[in-house]
Amino acid sequence: MTEVSVLGATGMVGQRFVSLLANHPFFRIAALFASEKRKGLKYGETVNWVLEEDIPESVKNIELRALGEEVPTKIVFSALPASIAGGIEKELAENGHYVFSNASAHRYDEFVPIIVPEVNPGHFEAVKYQNTKGFIITNPNCSTAGIVIPLKAIKDTLGIKKLVVFTMQAVSGAGYPGVPSLGIIDNIIPHIEKEEDKIKTETRKILGDFSGKFEYADFKVEARCNRVPVRNGHTEVLFIETDKKADVSELKEILKNFSALPQKLNLPTAPKNPIIVKDDKFRPQPVLDRNAGKGMAVTVGNIRKADIFDFTLTVLSHNTIRGAAGGSVLNAELFLKDGKLEV
Ligand SMILES: NC(=O)c1ccc[n+]([C@@H]2O[C@H](COP(=O)([O-])OP(=O)(O)OC[C@H]3O[C@@H](n4cnc5c(N)ncnc54)[C@H](OP(=O)(O)O)[C@@H]3O)[C@@H](O)[C@H]2O)c1
C-alpha cells in the first residue's frame, strides 16, 4: 500500500478523494488537511459531509492538519482553491512530493501537464523538465475533463477543425457552499468566471503533443458556460466540424469502440467503457447518467448531423468524480502501475 495525503479534504472535491481513497487497493490515507480553523479536529466530527455514501470509518478519527504542518507522504492529492494551491503545490514539488492537483494554479505552466489518462498519458514526460525533486501533475477543470474523451476518439479518426461548446454545469462545480440557493433555484446563470477560457485553453493543451514543449492542438474552440440548478453532473452540447466526413452511425461506432491505456491496464478507477453511447434522444440526463462507470464514464447522446458544422452531440460527465477527484486518482494509479513512480 502507498500512503497518500489529501489537501482540502473537507471540500466538495476533497470529500470525493476521501471516499475514493478510503478503500483503494493501492493507496492508504495517512493525512488529511483543511483550513486553520479545523486544525486538530477529527475529520468525522468537523466535515460537512454531502456525499450519498457514509463517511468511511477509517478516516473519521483522523485529526486534520493545517497547511504548514508536515506532509508525511510522497504522493499528495490537492483539492485546494487555486488562490492557495499555487505556492504550496510548488513548495511540495520542490521538496520531492508528487502532487496530483485539481486546482488551476499550475495548469498552464510551461512543463506542467494536464492529464486525462485515456487521452494524453504521454504528457507525463513533461514532468522531467520541471526541475524540482518531485513534480506537479494536474487534471483539467471539470467541464473540459468530460469532453476531451469523446473529442480524442473523434480527433484520432476524423480530425477536428472547429469546436463549439455550450455547458450546463452543476452547482457542486462551484465548491461548498458555492452558489447561494436564492441565486440558483428556479434560475440559470449565464456566466462562470474564467470557465470559457479554461475550456478553450485546456482542450487544446490536452489534445496537443509534448516533445520537449507543449504543442497545442491547432483547431479552433469557442465556449459558453452556464450554471444550472443541478446538484452533480455537467451537461455539454458540442458542435464539431471534422476534417474527414462521416455519417452518424460511423461516429457512434467510433465513440462506442474507444478504449485506452487505463482500460488495457485494468486500473481500479478506470471505467470498463470510457464512453457510453445512448441511442435515446432524451439522454444523457444528469439524474440518470452521472454515475455511469461509478462516475468515471462519459455518456454521449442525441448525436446528429448539424446544418452548421458536421455533428452535434450532448456529453454528460460527473464533475467531482471524472471531472475532479476520480480523474486525479486515475492519474496516480496510471503512474504507479506504469512503473513511473518510485514511492
Ligand atoms: N467542484 C468541482 O466540481 C471541481 C472540479 C474540478 C476542479 N475543482 C477545483 O478543485 C479545487 C477544490 O474545489 P472544491 O469545489 O472542492 O472547493 P471547496 O468545496 O471550496 O473546498 C475547498 C477546500 O480547501 C480548504 N481550504 C480553503 N482555504 C484554505 C486555506 N487557507 N488553507 C488550507 N485549506 C483551505 C477547505 O477547507 P475548510 O473546509 O476547512 O474551509 C476545503 O477543504 C479548486 O481549485 C477547484 O477549482 C473543483
- pLDDT tens digits for 310-342? 999 999 999 999 999 999 999 999 989 876 665
Q: Tell whether 208 is covered by a domain.
A: yes
Cα distances (angstroms) measured from residue 183 to each of 178, 234, 269, 326: 10, 18, 35, 28
SS3 303: strand
Q: Is there a single domain that holds both residue 147 and residue 231? A: yes
Q: What is the DSSP letter of 124?
A: G
Distance CA 242, CA 225 (A): 23
Distance CA 90, CA 96 (A): 10
Q: What is the DSSP letter of 37?
A: G
pLDDT score of 338: 77
Q: Is there a single domain that holds both residue 102 and residue 235? A: no
Q: What CA dihedral angle connects 277, 282, 285 and 287, to 10 degrees? A: -120
Our answer on whether the CB atom of 10 is closer than 6 Å to any ligand 1 atom is: yes
Residue 290 has pLDDT above 60, yes or no: yes
Q: Regarding beta strands 75-78 and 2-7, do their DSSP bridges make them parallel or antiparallel, or are they unpaired?
A: parallel
Amino acid at 249: S
Q: Which residue has the higher pLDDT, 335 or 273?
A: 273
Residue 187 has pLDDT above 90, yes or no: yes
pLDDT score of 340: 61
Our answer on whether the CB atom of 81 is closer than 6 Å to any ligand 1 atom is: yes
Please identify, by atom number, the ligand 1 atom nearest to the C-alpha of residue 103. 45
Domain count, the chain: 2
Structural domain for 220, as ranges: 142-318
Q: Is there a single domain that holds both residue 150 and residue 106? A: no
pLDDT score of 337: 86
Our answer on whether the CB atom of 317 is closer than 6 Å to any ligand 1 atom is: no
* CATH for 172: 3.30.360.10
Q: Is there a single domain that holds both residue 89 and residue 227? A: no
Cβ count near 20 (within 10 Å): 23
Q: Is there a single domain that holds both residue 157 and residue 304? A: yes
Q: Tell whether 342 is covered by a domain.
A: no
Q: Tell whether 264 is covered by a domain.
A: yes
- CA 78 to ligand 1 centroid distance, Å: 9
Q: Is there a single domain that holds both residue 204 and residue 245? A: yes
Our answer on whether the CB atom of 138 is closer than 6 Å to any ligand 1 atom is: no
Q: Is there a single domain that holds both residue 96 and residue 114? A: yes
pLDDT score of 101: 98
Q: Is there a single domain that holds both residue 159 and residue 303? A: yes
Q: Is there a single domain that holds both residue 157 and residue 290? A: yes
Q: Is there a single domain that holds both residue 169 and residue 222? A: yes
What's the predicted TM-score (pTM) here?
0.96
Q: Is there a single domain that holds both residue 247 and residue 314? A: yes
Closest residue to atom 39 of ligand 1, CA basis = 10
